[in-house]
Amino acid sequence: MKKSIARTERIERFLDRVTGQHSDQGNPRVKQVVRRIVGDLYRTIEDLDIRPDEFWKAISYLTRAGQTRELGLISPGLGFDHFLDLRMDAMDEEAGVVGGTPRTIEGPLYVAGAPIAKGEARLDDGKEPGEILFMMGRVLSIDGHPLEGAIVDVWHADTHGNYSFFDPSQTEFNLRRRIETDSQGYYRFRSIMPRGYGVEPGGATDTLLESLGRHGQRPAHIHFFISARGHRHLTTQINIAGDPLLHDDFAFATRDGLIPEVVRKSGPGELIERGVDAPYAEVHFDFVLHPSTAAELETVVDRERPVGDGAERPSTRRDRPRSARADR
Instruction: Write out pLDDT tens, residues 149-181.
Output: 999 999 999 999 999 999 999 999 999 999 999
Residues 6+ positions from 315 with CB-CB distance below 8 Å = none
Q: What is the mean pLDDT of the chain?
A: 93
Q: What is the pLDDT of residue 166?
A: 94
| Confidence band, pLDDT 50/70/90 cuts, at residue 1 | low
Query: Is 80 a residue whose pLDDT tops 50?
Result: yes
- The pLDDT of 267-271, averaged and rounded, is 95
Chain-centre distance for alpha carbon 201: 20
Q: pTM (2 decimals)?
A: 0.91
- Determine the angle formed by the axes of helices 204-211 and 52-67, rounding to 10 degrees: 140
Res. 60 pLDDT band, cuts 50 70 90: very high
pLDDT of 273 higher than 50: yes
The confidence band for 296, taking pLDDT boundaries of 50, 70 and 90, is: confident
Determine contact, residues 114/179, Cβ cutoff 8 Å.
Answer: no
Q: Using pLDDT thresholds of 50, 70 and 90, give the confidence band for residue 44.
A: very high
Query: What residue spans define the domains of the chain?
Result: 9-67, 79-324
Per-residue model confidence as pLDDT tens digits over 81-109 = 999 999 999 999 999 999 999 999 999 99
Q: Alpha-carbon dihedral of residues 134, 138, 139, 141, nearest 10 degrees? A: -160
Check pLDDT > 50 for residue 314: no
- Give pLDDT, residue 311: 43
The dihedral over CA atoms of 250, 87, 20, 57, expressed in degrees to the nearest 10, equals: -10
Q: In the predicted model, is pLDDT for residue 260 greater than 60?
A: yes
**pLDDT tens digits, residue range 177-235?**
999 999 999 999 999 999 999 999 999 999 999 999 999 999 999 999 999 999 999 99
Per-residue pLDDT band at 18 (split at 50, 70, 90):
very high
CATH architecture of 79-324: Sandwich (2.60)
